[in-house]
Amino acid sequence: MEVIITRDYDEMSWVAAQIIRRQLIRKPDSVLGLATGSTPLGTYKEMIRMHREEGLDFSKVTTFNLDEYLGLPPTHPQSYHHFMQENLFKHINIHPGRIFIPNGMAEDIDSHCRWYEEQIKKAGGIDLQLLGIGSDGHIAFNEPGSSLGSRTRLKTLTESTIRDNARFFERAEDVPHFAITMGVGTIFEAREILLIAGGEEKAAVCAEFIEGPVTARVTASMLQLHPIVKVVLDEAAASQLKQAGYYCWVQQQKQKLVGMPSQVSFLRRPVSKK
């Protein structure tokens, strides 16, 4: 796991967008796994800026979103379909036929989940998966106790996730209690993983999943077993990491390797940006 500690939310978002940009330059027909929630908003904003100002091209990209609430139609303002449309897709040149998001209105949920997994395979698998993390340690909606080998399926949300997500809904009782979500096993098959987290409220869970044991209690901890993971945190989210000094040292040392083909420095955000 490569842990990159940034100054603040804006820098975290910038670094994440740079990693995605690098992926698209390396492979213009990349398959991206995308996330919702408040954390990726800044990353998406920066991707839109790179598309508009630098011509970053999404025309050959395929995307798979992690999850969708059960029972919300794509037009519902709190559906993840709507979120993605408003916060990313309608601002970039992605082909609508290459956008995949689980259907929260699917009649036969099990066969829809199997179909979703098949589409990921047909697309050649996910090249780069963007993730946030819930305060209970979930990735996608893989709540504590989820099988670490799980596939796309229906999940019951925990009360803490329902509480966390109530801020997006008019009334707490409007928050769906179920979602269709990629499994931990599905996510684990992505070739590269990029997890972002910001804010003090994520500090404890970040320390747990990065430095604690691998456990289904904190499904993000499974990422410790994945060969290529970047975790981009702001200072607040990194504040309980025991090894923070070492992670910063690693990033500083890597500056010396800039110029070598496989090395990219992520600590060079242009000063004019902020």
User: Residues with catalytic annotation?
Assistant: 67, 136, 138, 143
Give the residues across from 218 on adjacent strands. Answer: 215
By C-alpha distance, which of 127, 130, 131 is closest to 27?
127
Report which residue's Cβ sits closest to ligand PGA: 37
Among 33, 102, 104, 134, binds ligand PGA (CB under 6 A): 134
| 137 near ligand PGA, rule: CB under 6 A | no
Question: Per-residue contact track with ligand PGA, 11 to 40, x per CB under 6 A?
Answer: --------------------------xxx-
As a whole number of angstroms, the distance between CA 109 and CA 96 comes to: 23
176 binds ligand PGA (CB under 6 A): no
CB of 55 to ligand PGA, least distance (A): 28
Nearer to ligand PGA, 224 or 251 (CB): 224
For residue 128, the cross-strand partners are 32, 192
Please tell me the distance from the alpha carbon of residue 83 to that of residue 104, in angstroms, as a whole number: 14
Whichever of 112 and 134 has its CB closer to ligand PGA, that residue is 134
Q: Does 133 bind ligand PGA (CB under 6 A)?
A: yes
| φ, ψ for residue 193, nearest 5 deg | -125, 135
Q: Give me the numbers of helices (H) and strands (E) for the chain, helices first please.
A: 8, 10
Q: Does 59 bind ligand PGA (CB under 6 A)?
A: no
In the bound complex, what is the minimum distance in angstroms from residue 205's beta carbon to ligand PGA?
Answer: 10
Nearest distance in Å: CB 26, ligand PGA: 26
Distance of CA 252 to the CA centre of its chain: 25
Q: Whole-number minimum distance, CB 80 to ligand PGA, in Å? A: 11
Q: Round to whole Å and give the CA distance between 188 and 186.
A: 5
Which two structure tokens, joined as six digits, stand for 220? Answer: 């993000």
Closest by CA position to 140, among listed 208, 206, 64:
64
Residue placing its CB nearer to ligand PGA in the complex, 67 or 117: 67
Q: Answer positive or negative: Cα dihedral of 76, 82, 83, 86.
A: negative
In whole angstroms, the minimum distance from the beta carbon of 114 to ligand PGA comes to 24
Nearer to ligand PGA, 118 or 200 (CB): 200
Does 132 bind ligand PGA (CB under 6 A)? Our answer is yes
The single residue listed with the structure tokens 């409220």 is 201
With the C-alpha atoms ordered 62, 68, 71, 75, is the resulting torsion angle positive or negative? Answer: negative
Our CB check for ligand PGA shows the closer of 133 and 231 to be 133
Binding site for ligand PGA (CB under 6 A): 37-39, 132-134
